[in-house]
Amino acid sequence: MLEMTRETFEELVSQALDKIPPELTRVMDNVAVFVEDEPPADDPELLGLYEGTPLTDRGEWYAGVLPDRISIYKGPILRLCTTPDEVVHEVAVTVIHEIAHHFGIDDERLHELGWG
């Protein structure tokens, strides 16, 4: 397994977020991104997780709620990758994948687009 400090991994997540086009980040609403060491025990290979209400499902009722949460899991990504360059790539793919869920894009469509 590759070794990487939490600070370095968080910087990779930040860099991936910085690559999201401004026209998309402007419409992202009420969402926070976190780095976690490990995913829930029932899904130990999970790389990232979106929890919340996608923008496409929000209506008049959507007000005063906690932010949606995107978690990026350090442990499984480092175990999956064999080089630092692979980690950079996998972090970017995972961040984009989870942000796509915020925009209402499901896993099936993400796989069709090559972001699965």
CA 9, chain centre distance (Å): 13
> Is 111 a residue whose pLDDT tops 90?
no
Name residue, tokens 């979106």: 50
pTM of the shown model: 0.92
- DSSP letter at 5 equals -
Q: Which of 70, 85, 72, 71 is nearest to 2 (CA)?
A: 85
pLDDT at 116 over 80: no
Q: How far apart are CA 93 and CA 10, in angstroms?
A: 15
What are 11-62's pLDDT values in tens digits?
999 999 999 999 999 999 899 999 999 999 999 999 999 999 999 999 888 8
- Higher-confidence residue of 94 and 61: namely 94
Residues 99/21, Cβ–Cβ less than 8 Å: no
pLDDT for 63:
87
Q: Around 54, how many Cα atoms within 13 Å sit in the side-chain half-sphere?
A: 14
| In contact, 94 and 12? CB cutoff 8 Å | no
